[in-house]
């Protein structure tokens, strides 16, 4: 099973027990059959026609579709009906949100995980940076003292600021990056961060779907927004390792250059070629395997997301305290 | 936590022998996504074996693979002989439940891959053992926390392995 990323424009439809991607190239109509059992989820970057027959078929097979707009900006996800449900766990997930103490405990872990990842990334470029690592380590110490979600969010904001300040020192290419700006991003770096973040968010969402966790009930982020907030919570942990590390490599190795961004739009958007490069690198990263000491078996980086969710489930069941991922390599 | 369903399923009896933790998690609907090849193989085997004689019986948490009416014999198809004890009690449980309904039959476990079968009947002692198992099982499910990991060799093949040891 794998993710299918469709960049071309055309039409996807159900045919028998498969789906067919139809598109026209140089005036010639082409059809690509994709076996349904091979699809994990579908990412649509092109202008694609779909119908309800296809949606029903994908839903029956528990397959998500992630939509991106013309600029490669994440639009949303078709989330098929739940197939793994546990009433007991849902109640406990809600109770952990409802109790301020319990909620804060989890929110702290997500921020901790994010800072661990940031520190780990900075350590790889020790000679290029100043005292960012020490500053982040001080923030870690201060997390314990925070006693409200907004205060924890504040620590997270400070951590991000320190961390992002180090980016221009790390990157070989001359880039303009002073501040993280979203909706829309305002330069190359912000465009890349937004793009990889959306890939991480959708990957986490897909893993959540394959557990009994409810994606709307979150702890660091407010569940009241339109998004699947739990996916945002968990994404925080994986952004530095899956996203930022990728960005450093792609830019420092010159694989991604200014020419991959849309000049007319202030380099704020990746062009198709650039998106393909980033998506390919992201997939390669997530499919890379390593020996997981705790499990005593070889797992993919993608699997780390699921394992994190399992740890969260055990926490919610009051079985084992959740401790966010702290990389040992 | 009280379970809504009054009926103990054969899977639960099976898990009782394999792993009490798996039993608890499964019964609280913490089930794993079925993507393991072993599960796939099992369901294929189920589909393809003994097609001609197939006559499934399903009632109150019981699903019997097939039933030979003229021989008063029920069959259960299994992939391996590895966890035999749980297989035996699973089919004994079927016999027990059928007996409760006034149906007296014999049982057989088929291992098509090994071309082996095993005959199973229900003794008076077995009946006592089963009613004992049922009450122990209900006790386990009432516990607020799942039982400890068993840390056995079979864990490595279990679909819950990553869940338990993450």
Residue A68 sits in a domain whose CATH number is 3.100.10.20
The domain limits of chain B are 10-165
In this predicted structure, the answer to whether residue A145 has a pLDDT above a threshold of 50 is yes
A107 and A41 in a common domain? no
- How near does any CA of chain B get to the CA of A71, in Å? 34
User: By mean pLDDT, which of A114-123, A240-249, B45-54, B106-115 is the weakest?
Assistant: B45-54
Nearest to residue A270, comparing CAs of A66, A28, A69?
A69
| Record: contact B29-A212, CB cut-off 8 A | yes
More confident residue, A83 or B145: B145
Model confidence at B37: pLDDT above 60: no
State which of A35, A57, A78 marks the end of a domain. A78
Beta-carbon neighbour count of residue A116 at 10 Å?
19
What was the ipTM of the complex prediction?
0.89
Instruction: Give the whole-angstrom CA distance, residue A89 versus residue A312.
Output: 11
**Over pLDDT 70: what percentage of chain A?**
99
B107 has which bridge partners? B74, B120
Cα distance between residue A21 and residue A65, in whole Å:
14
Question: What value does the mean pLDDT take over residues B42-56?
Answer: 62
Res. A176: pLDDT tops 80: no
Statement to judge: residues A205 and A259 lie in one domain: yes
Q: Do A87 and B29 touch (CB under 8 A)?
A: yes
Distance CA A131, CA A114 (A): 18
Q: Residue A36: what pLDDT? A: 92
A150 and A111 belong to one structural domain:
yes
User: Contact A277/A260 with Cβ under 8 angstroms?
Assistant: yes
d(CA A320, CA B7): 30
Alpha-carbon distances, residue A174 vs A5, A103, A169 (angstroms): 30, 42, 10
Q: Given the DSSP bridges, would you call strands A28-35 and B116-120 parallel, antiparallel or unpaired?
A: unpaired
Percent of chain A with pLDDT over 90: 82
H helices present in chain A, as ranges: 52-60, 87-98, 100-123, 132-143, 149-165, 167-170, 188-209, 229-238, 245-252, 272-287, 301-316
Domain co-membership, A43 together with A118? no
Residues A27 and A52 in one domain: yes
Contacts of B166 in chain A (CB under 8 A): 294-295, 307-308, 310-311, 314
Q: Measured between alpha carbons, how far apart are the two ends of chain B, in Å?
A: 25
Host domain of residue A260: 87-317
Residue A323: inside a domain, yes or no? no
One domain, residues A49 and A190: no
- The answer, yes or no, to whether residue A113 has pLDDT greater than 70, is yes
Number of domains in chain A: 2
Chain center to CA of A221: 15
Of A179-188, A253-262, A311-320, B43-52, give the lowest mean pLDDT range: B43-52
Residue of A87, A310, A324, A325 for testing the chain B interface, max B β-carbons within 10 Å: A310
Residues A47 and A132 in one domain: no
Measured between beta carbons, which residues in chain B are less than 8 angstroms from residue A311?
Answer: 166
Cβ atoms within 10 Å of B156's Cβ, excluding its own = 11
pLDDT at residue B125 is higher than 50: yes
Element at B81 (helix H, strand E): none
> Is there a single domain that holds both residue A96 and residue A73?
no
Nearest Cα to Cα of residue A248 among A278, A271, A268, A270: A278
Q: Which pTM does this prediction carry?
A: 0.90
The share of chain B scoring above pLDDT 70, in percent, equals 82
Task: List, for residues A44-53, the tens digit of each pLDDT value.
Answer: 999 999 999 9
The Cβ of residue A58 has, within 10 Å, a number of other Cβ atoms equal to 22
Region at B102 (left for phi over 0; alpha for psi -120 to 50; beta for the rest): left
Angle between helices A245-252 and A272-287 (to 10 degrees): 120
Q: Given this model, what pLDDT does residue B84 score?
A: 77
Q: What is the residue-averaged pLDDT of chain A?
A: 93
| A322 located within any domain | no
The DSSP call for residue A221 is S
CB A250 within 8 A of CB A256: yes
B51 confidence band (pLDDT: 50, 70, 90): low
Omega before residue A319 within 30° of 0, cis: no
Q: What is the mean pLDDT of residues B127-151?
A: 95
Residue B155, pLDDT score = 94
B83 has pLDDT over 90: no
Which of A254-268, B38-52, B57-71 is least confident?
B38-52
Q: Band the pLDDT of B4: cuts 50, 70, 90.
A: very low
- Taking CA atoms, A73 is separated from A92, A175, A198, A258, in Å, by 34, 21, 8, 18
Cβ neighbour number for residue A184 with a 10 Å cutoff = 14
| Angle subtended at Cα A314 by Cα A312 and Cα A317, rounded to the nearest 5 degrees | 110
Same domain assignment for residues A73 and A117: no
Domain B10-165: which CATH class?
alpha beta
Chain A: closest CA distance from residue B150 (Å): 15
Helix or strand holding residue B13 (H, E)? helix B10-18
Q: Are residues A48 and A101 in the same domain?
A: no
Contact B139, B12 (CB under 8 A): no
pLDDT averaged over chain B? Answer: 84
How far A296 CA sits from the closest chain B CA (Å)? Answer: 9
pLDDT band at B21 (very low <50, low <70, confident <90, very high): very high
Averaged pLDDT, A209-237: 92
End-to-end CA distance of chain A: 28
CA distance A33 to A14: 10
Residue where a domain terminates, one of A47, A78, A109: A78
Answer with the one of A31, A50, A78 that is the final residue of a domain: A78
Q: How far apart are CA A118 and CA A133, in angstroms?
A: 9
Of A30, A31, A38, residue with least CA distance to A4: A38
Which of A157, A82, A149 is closest to A115 using CA atoms?
A157
List A289's β-bridge partners, or say none.
Answer: A300
Residue of A nearest to B21 (CA): A319
Residue A114 is classified by DSSP as H
- pLDDT grade for B1, boundaries at 50, 70 and 90: very low
Reply yes or no on whether the pLDDT at B39 is more than 70.
Answer: no
Of A86, A297, A314, the CB nearest to B28: A86
């Amino acid at each position: 099973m794998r993710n299918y990323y469709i960049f071309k424009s055309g039409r996807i439809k159900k045919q028998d027990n498969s789906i067919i991607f139809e598109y026209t190239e140089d005036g010639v109509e082409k059809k690509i059959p994709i076996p349904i059992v091979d699809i994990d989820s579908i990412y649509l970057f092109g202008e694609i026609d779909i119908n309800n027959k296809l949606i029903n078929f994908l839903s029956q097979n528990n397959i998500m579709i992630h939509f991106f707009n013309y600029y490669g900006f994440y639009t949303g996800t078709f989330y098929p009906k739940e197939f793994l449900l546990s009433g007991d766990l849902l109640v406990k997930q809600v109770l952990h949100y409802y109790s301020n103490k319990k909620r804060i405990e989890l929110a702290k872990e997500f921020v901790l995980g994010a800072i661990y990842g940031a520190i780990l990334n900075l350590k790889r470029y020790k000679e290029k940076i100043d005292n960012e690592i020490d500053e982040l380590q001080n923030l870690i110490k201060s997390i314990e003292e925070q006693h409200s979600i907004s205060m924890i969010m504040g620590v997270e904001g400070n951590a991000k600021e320190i961390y992002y300040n180090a980016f221009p020192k790390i990157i070989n290419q001359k880039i303009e990056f002073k501040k993280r700006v979203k909706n829309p991003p305002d330069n190359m770096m912000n465009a890349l961060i937004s793009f990889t973040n959306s890939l991480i968010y959708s990957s986490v969402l897909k893993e959540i779907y394959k557990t009994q966790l409810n994606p709307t009930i979150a702890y660091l982020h407010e569940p009241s927004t339109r998004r699947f907030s739990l996916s945002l919570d968990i994404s925080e942990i994986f952004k530095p390792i899956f996203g930022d590390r990728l960005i450093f490599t792609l830019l420092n190795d010159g694989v991604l250059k200014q020419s991959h961004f849309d000049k007319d739009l202030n380099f704020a958007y990746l062009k198709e070629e650039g998106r393909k490069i980033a998506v390919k690198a992201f997939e390669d990263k997530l499919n890379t395997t390593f020996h997981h000491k705790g499990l005593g078996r070889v797992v993919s980086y993608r699997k780390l997301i699921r394992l994190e969710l399992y740890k969260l489930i055990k926490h919610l069941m009051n079985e084992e305290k959740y401790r966010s991922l702290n990389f040992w390599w | 936590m009280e379970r809504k369903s009054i009926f103990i399923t054969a899977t639960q009896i099976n898990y009782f022998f394999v792993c009490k933790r798996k039993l608890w998690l499964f019964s609280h609907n913490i089930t794993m996504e079925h993507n393991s090849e072993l599960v796939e193989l099992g369901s294929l085997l189920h589909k393809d074996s003994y097609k001609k004689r197939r006559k499934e019986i399903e009632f109150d948490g019981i699903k019997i693979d097939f039933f030979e009416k003229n021989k008063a014999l029920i069959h259960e198809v299994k992939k391996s002989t590895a966890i035999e004890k749980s297989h035996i009690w699973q089919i004994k449980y079927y016999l027990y439940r059928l007996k409760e309904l006034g149906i007296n039959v014999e049982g057989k476990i088929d291992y098509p891959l090994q071309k082996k079968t095993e005959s199973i009947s229900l003794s008076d002692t077995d009946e006592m053992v089963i009613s004992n198992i049922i009450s122990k099982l209900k006790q386990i499910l009432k516990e607020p926390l799942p039982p400890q990991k068993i840390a056995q060799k079979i864990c490595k093949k279990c679909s819950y392995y990553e869940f338990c040891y993450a």
